[in-house]
Amino acid sequence: MATAARVASLLLSPPAALPLVRLQRTRPFAHISTKTRLITSASAAAASMASTASKPKIIDSHLHVWASPQEAADKYPYFPGQEPTLPGDVDFLLQCMEEAGVDGALIVQPINHKFDHSLVTSVLKKYPSKFVGCCLANPAEDGSGIKQLENLILKDNYRAVRFNPYLWPSGQQMTNEVGRAMFSKAGELGVPVGFMCMKGLGLHISEIEELCTEFPSTAVLLDHLAFCKPPINDEEKLAFSALLQLSRFPQVYVKFSALFRVSRMPFPYEDLSHSLSQVVSSFGANRVMWGSDFPFVVPECGYKGAKEAVSLIVNRVPLSSSELEWIMGRTALQLFRNQWLS
């Protein structure tokens, strides 16, 4: 009876709890604890960060910077006779890289400052996660360039060195005593040597082969497809064949860079599609890397155009999206031990 009376009383009472029920229904996740919501939110944030981190980085393996005229007057003078005719200051470069979606770059010491690395060193220190430095080897006969190379690597954190054969003393080759010592030192310190064969690979192929054979622990970078244009005569076919045969040295990498210098056609330099296909077939995409040659490329096709040309060329081959990723950044990241991820 007591139970029946209590039920009757509840049925006759006004529904005071109903407004509360309605309020609860307007909060669809009120039953989820604060802790659970925090965990879910953190997981979503982590997933977003992982998605951003997994986006392939675009790395430019070959460009230059030099002082603006004001910087040259104040602190970083040009080498006499090597005054630039194009703007190449770091602020202009950063603007170009942002517009093109390029994440990082290897700065090659420009001839405009010759062996004075102070301008490039200042840029490396200001933007340590953006840029990696390639210094210029000084082949002075007194051997002073060997110590300079060591200091630039160990003290100023340069991660590569460029051999310009046209800076060697007249009548001497890169395989002379000083050249061998610098090449050996580079391998000892774990930095690659880049070769600039502007006057033709055929003039320097024997030196490169000799150094690669004697010092297999020194990685090698061949700038600008070793300056091999799509061959149209026997001499050029021999040079391009020599380039492909360098793939037998596992430490040799090719820069698919400064396309305007090695193409016979205007942008987008489609005659390089066959050259790229053969280089990738011989070396593998994981030993090929894109480079712009900023700022020289700017009046040719623009910095952004330098990047876009590669995709257009690759589409004509065609190469896989994975191979394109290697060329546009993964090769450089691997070779330079993820310097741009720090």
Distances (CA, A) of 222 to 188, 247, 253: 20, 11, 6
The predicted pLDDT at position 342 comes to 61
CA–CA separation, 145 vs 170, rounded Å? 17
Number of domains in the chain: 2
What is the structure's pLDDT at 50? 45
117 and 25 within one domain: no
138 lies in which domain range?
Answer: 58-341
Question: 7-16, 35-44, 267-276: which range is least confident on average?
Answer: 7-16
Domain assignment present for 126: yes
Alpha-carbon span 6 to 210, nearest angstrom: 103
Q: Is 127 left (phi over 0), alpha (psi -120 to 50) or beta?
A: beta
Residue 341: what pLDDT?
78
Residues 304 and 238 in one domain: yes
Beta bridge partners of 291: 257
Tens of pLDDT, residues 74-92: 999 999 999 999 999 999 9
Give the tens place of pLDDT for each residue, 303-318.
999 999 999 999 999 8
Q: Are residues 96 and 225 in the same domain?
A: yes
Same domain, 37 and 123: no
Q: Which two tokens stand for residue 42?
A: 């953190």
For 340, phi and psi rounded to 5 degrees?
Answer: -85, 0
39-50 per-position pLDDT tens digit: 444 454 444 444
What's 258's domain CATH number? 3.20.20.140
Whether residue 226 lies inside any domain: the answer is yes
Convert 192-210 to b/e letters by CB count within 10 Å (16 or more is b): bbbbbbeeebbebbebbbe
Q: Do 174 and 294 fall into the same domain?
A: yes
| Domain identity same for 177 and 40 | no
pLDDT value of residue 54:
72
27 with 162, same domain: the answer is: no
**C-alpha–C-alpha distance, residues 307 and 162, integer Å:** 23
For residue 334, pLDDT beyond 50 = yes
Q: Mean pLDDT across the stretch 15-20?
A: 40
pLDDT in tens, 184-218: 999 999 999 999 999 999 999 999 999 999 999 99
Q: Is residue 289 part of a domain?
A: yes
Task: Give CA angle at 175 (169, 177), nearest 5°.
Answer: 75
For residue 164, tell me if it sits in a domain.
Answer: yes
Beta bridge partners of 194: 162, 221
294: which strand partners? 63
Q: Residue 216: phi, psi to the nearest 5? A: -65, -15
Residues 6+ apart with CB under 8 A from 78: 66, 67, 72, 84, 112, 113
Query: What predicted TM-score, i.e. pTM, was given to this entire model?
Result: 0.84
DSSP state of 220: E
Q: Are both 84 and 220 inside the same structural domain?
A: yes
